[in-house]
Amino acid sequence: MNAKNTKKAINPPAGPNPVQQLFAADQQQALLDQLYQFIELEHLYESAIREVKTKLEILDSEFKAKYDYNPIHHIEDRLKSPQSILEKLQRKGMPFSCNAARATLNDIAGVRVICNYIEDIYTVAELLTSQDDVTLIKRKDYIKDPKPNGYRSLHLVIQTPVYLSDSKELVNVEVQIRTIAMDFWASLEHELKYKTNHDVSADLAEQLKDCAETIAATDKRMQEIYRTLKQID
């Protein structure tokens, strides 16, 4: 046998492991239980993201098949990190537990839908929320009522079922729907806030808002151009 392929036997370290050193026996079990519950929670929310993305992809491909048009430009998703879950629960004065996270947080699972035109946003939202197994929990239209800083998007919290081996779980998913233009602004604004440590001067904030208005006006013009071309077709 080649000496390189010979695996060395690894002897377990002598004495108690770090968890055993730090925690009493009953605490060790509680810690493990929490860890496993958290892994199950992540799996549940990851599955909910997949369910919602599949629904959106099917709607988009149906539009392509029927009308030779894709209302969705692309879809992004993210699962909230354990660190962010912990911080948000602390902010809300809640204990760090899976039950508290499920009951309190609507944005553990996040799906962002980037559409071509403003009208597509409302079409996608309407088609998604009218499905039998989808329940609309919350709707915030930051396109009709933009945030004071100029932020625009349609925010939904929907509940969708996830079928597990022994149960059906209803899971909340935050869906943000916006145009490419709105996404361009939100991504850069987020980065600027992050880079400048959340402290944008009044003058720059005004300029950013101004950019948001310009982008919104362009979105409307593009929508009109598209409508006109569609009528000609």
Q: Give the catalytic positions in this structure.
A: 174
Task: Using the minimum distance from each CB to ligand GTP, give the nearer residue, 45 or 151.
Answer: 151
Side chain identity at residue 51, one-letter code: E
* Cα distance between residue 30 and residue 119, in whole Å: 50
d(CA 75, CA 213): 24
Is residue 181 a contact point for ligand GTP (CB under 6 A)?
A: no
Token output for 39:
């892994």
What's CA 148's distance to the chain center, in Å?
23
Residues 121-140 that bind ligand GTP (CB under 6 A): 140
- Which residues, numbered 58-117, are part of the site for Mg ion (CB under 5 A)? 107
Q: How far is the CB of 101 from ligand GTP (least distance, A)?
A: 13
Asked if 46 interacts with Mg ion (CB under 5 A), we say no
Is the Cβ–Cβ distance between 73 and 114 less than 8 Å?
A: yes
Other Cβ atoms closer than 10 A to 180: 15
Asked if 119 is part of the footprint of Mg ion (rule: CB under 5 A), the reply reads: no
Least separation in angstroms between CB 107 and ligand GTP:
5
State which residue has the least CB distance to Mg ion.
107
196 by DSSP, 3-state: which? coil
Binding-site ranges for ligand GTP (CB under 6 A): 107, 140, 147, 149, 151, 155, 176, 186, 189-190
